[in-house]
Amino acid sequence: MEIIKDFYKMLKERKKWWLVPVVIALFLIGALIFLSSGSAVAPFIYTLF
């Protein structure tokens, strides 16, 4: 949780709010790959990329 707090402080001090959508998109893509790696729908998700 300390990393999230530090990231928020950096965004607030340096006014880099454009990084928020980038980080959210990367997190969602990573979560999709992680959750689908051991399931039966993995071949269908990999065809999206």
Q: Is the pLDDT of residue 46 over 90?
A: no
Q: Give the separation between CA 41 and CA 21, rounded to whole angstroms.
A: 26
Cα Rg for the chain, rounded, in angstroms? 15
- Residues in Cβ contact with 10 at an 8 Å cutoff, skipping those fewer than 6 apart: 16
pLDDT, one tens digit per residue, over 15-40 is: 888 888 999 999 998 888 777 766 67
* pLDDT band at residue 44 using 50, 70 and 90 as cut-offs: confident
Q: Would you kindly state where each structural domain of the chain is located, as residue ranges?
A: 17-49
